[in-house]
Structure 1
Amino acid sequence: MEQVKGNLMLLLTALIWGSAFVAQSVGMDYVGPFTFNAARNLLATGVLVPVVLAFGGKHRGNLWQRLKPDGGTVKGGLCCGLIMGIASNLQQVGLSMTTAGKAGFVTALYIILVPILGRFLGRTVRKILLLCVPMSLVGFYLLCVKGDFTVSFGDFLVFCCAVFFALHILFVDHFLRKGASGVRVAWIQFAMTCLLSALGALVWERVPAGGLGSALWGARWPLLYTSVLSSGVAYTLQILGQKYTEPTTATLIMSLESVFAMLSGWLFLGEVMDFREIVGCVLVFVAVLLAQL
């Protein structure tokens, strides 16, 4: 029963992340990628406060005493936040330099990077997953790659993003096994990601012509969607769901993000899937189902 609960949490995570691609694209019409990430994670940090109070254990006292994490949770949140901050900003910048199809395929490489990196940590991989991983990879290729595959600088950034997302999954699993508080890890990692993104904005981005406040107000709806759902809800569901699901299976379920992104494009933007893309969707879904055997 707990495994089913974890799988459902991760499936909902993938659905939210996939549908958030539209909001992320619209948001960058108003502000740069670092500014967008800084704002969304700042809002997400605030969104998680009631979540921590509700699900963060039976702490008593004033507000800070109820929010205060233990040392292991602080370490986990800072480490996961550093990795997630690098990954999310690499993805956001890379998406502005490459096509969505290539970015989807390259990002999907974290599916095979998780078990590969896990082997270096002494973890074993179930035999069925040795079939599921390449099957899902072929599915993503059919679903996402359009035209000739060439490696641009944007593709390279997204590949680096995939590496850091794989590390993030493994680090979350590691700290949860050590007894860290899941919702507090999420809360700290958003604050850390906000800080890294703000530093990136100060270094590499200029203030919009109409002023930062006006630009952020123009991006208010994408920011609210990505901060409340994509960041606040989905990343928390990921951390809580991984308590009941081993890392490679969790990765396969969350990789459905690209499938849901394609479906969201069809639903909200009128995009139509061709036969090749439908075959890709089927392969990914079959791979995820087999992974549960």
Structure 2
Amino acid sequence: MTRIQANLILLLTAAIWGAAFVSQNLAMKSMGPLWFVGIRFMIGFLVVLPFALREDRKSAKPLSLKTGLTFGLCGVALLAGAVTQQIGMLTTTVTNASFLTGLYVIIVPVLSVLILRKLPHWVIWPAAALALTGIFYLSGGELSRLVVGDFWIILCALCFGMQVLLVGIFVSGSDRPLGLSAIQFLVTGAGALVVAAFVEPITWEGLKEAAPHILYSGVVSSGIAYTLQVVGQRWTTAPQAAIFLASESLFGAFFGALFLHERIPPLGYFGCALIFIAMLLVEFVPEFTKKRGVVR
């Protein structure tokens, strides 16, 4: 797979996640965040499991304990990000949540420097700044007064940034992208359900009301999209992946306007253009400089 194809897969992933903001928002009207996250990712696990088992049978050697634990570590980061995001969406707006979640576009390259001691391609920094500015303008150029939920979303961005970085580390050179997806879904779903059983009430009526949103989030947003993320990140870098995945705010605004009748402000279209420019920079500048022999 080429890097361009991988980045297009990540763009599709972002579109699916953007639509999921609508489902996540509507589901919170009838059930708690932990139950939602737990059921959602257990469904995602069941969707991916048959393909992961087939992948395992075709593998040259059995899954080692060390590899399984590293895949589980991705699940811990995903669990932390998914839960903090859902908790934050209880009290903040979809617009604020979309913008603040997009902070991981800056967090990933910073974590890459701090943890991997590896500088990304120079274009990542201006592209990340452009994408973050675009997300800000997409929200209308201002955030409402910060509430507790906003701080949960900021924490969620840090957790998702770590998850993107860990997936990039552990899937690189691996022949088990589906195995990684299945294990991280199992860790996320089981972890959320165990805690939910002790701290959150749930009713059959609420579960039925949220069922369509759970199914979309579980089958499409989790089972399909997170697997696409893992597959795409095998062929691109984590900082580049973060740029493309951050476009979920653009798609979130679009689907919010389509299904929740939220209006994109005029300044938002300028934000969309900035995000698109950031993705083009990340896609073409590395190839151009490589062909010209420019040192990174």
| TM-score over 0.5 for the pair | yes
2:137 partner letter: L
Using a 3 Å threshold, how does the CA distance of structure 1 residues 225 and 41 change in structure 2: closer, same or farther? same
Corresponding residue of 1:11: 11
Is the CA contact 1:72–1:180 (under 8 Å) kept in the aligned structure 2?
Answer: no
1:204-215 alignment, distance < 5 Å: 204-207=199-202, 211=203, 213-215=204-206
Deviations 1:163-220 (A, max 9, x none): 111110111111113636111111011111112211331343123xxx3x33322221
Compute the displacement of 1:42 (Å). Answer: 1.3
The secondary structure found in structure 2 opposite 1:127 is: coil
Compute the displacement of 1:105 (Å). Answer: 1.8
Range that drifts further, 271-280 or 91-100: 271-280
1:98-137 alignment, distance < 5 Å: 98-120=92-114, 121-137=116-132
Corresponding residue of 2:43: 43
Is the CA contact 2:44–2:219 (under 8 Å) kept in the aligned structure 1?
Answer: yes
Corresponding residue of 2:52: 52
Is the CA contact 2:140–2:267 (under 8 Å) kept in the aligned structure 1?
Answer: no
CA distance in 2 between counterparts of 1:264 and 1:249 reads 24
Root-mean-square deviation over aligned CA pairs = 2.0
Using a 3 Å threshold, how does the CA distance of structure 1 residues 34 and 146 change in structure 2: closer, same or farther? farther
% identical equivalent positions: 33
Range that drifts further, 251-260 or 97-106: 97-106
CA distance in 2 between counterparts of 1:292 and 1:55 reads 30
Using a 3 Å threshold, how does the CA distance of structure 1 residues 225 and 284 change in structure 2: closer, same or farther? same
Is the CA contact 1:105–1:145 (under 8 Å) kept in the aligned structure 2?
Answer: no
Corresponding residue of 2:261: 270
Using a 3 Å threshold, how does the CA distance of structure 1 residues 138 and 203 change in structure 2: closer, same or farther? same
CA distance in 1 between counterparts of 2:109 and 2:59 reads 36
Q: 2:70 aligns with which of 57, 73, 76?
A: 76
Range that drifts further, 77-86 or 48-57: 48-57
Compute the displacement of 1:59 (Å). Answer: 5.2
> Aligned pair 1:88/2:79, yes or no?
no
Is the CA contact 2:250–2:272 (under 8 Å) kept in the aligned structure 1?
Answer: yes
Using a 3 Å threshold, how does the CA distance of structure 1 residues 221 and 246 change in structure 2: closer, same or farther? same
1:85 partner letter: L
2:13 partner letter: T
CA distance in 2 between counterparts of 1:201 and 1:101 reads 27
What is the number of equivalent residue pairs in this alignment? Answer: 283
Note the residue ranges of structure 2 that are not aligned, 5 or more in a row.
285-296
> Aligned pair 1:156/2:146, yes or no?
no
Q: TM-score, normalised by structure 1?
A: 0.90
Deviations 1:40-96 (A, max 9, x none): 111111111222245455159xxxxx9x74324311221011110011000000011
Corresponding residue of 1:290: 281
CA distance in 2 between counterparts of 1:57 and 1:173 reads 24
Compute the displacement of 1:282 (Å). Answer: 0.7
> Aligned pair 1:2/2:2, yes or no?
yes
> Aligned pair 1:257/2:248, yes or no?
yes
Range that drifts further, 265-274 or 277-286: 265-274
Is the CA contact 1:38–1:197 (under 8 Å) kept in the aligned structure 2?
Answer: yes
CA distance in 2 between counterparts of 1:265 and 1:194 reads 26
Corresponding residue of 2:179: 184
Corresponding residue of 1:219: 210
Q: TM-score, normalised by structure 2?
A: 0.89
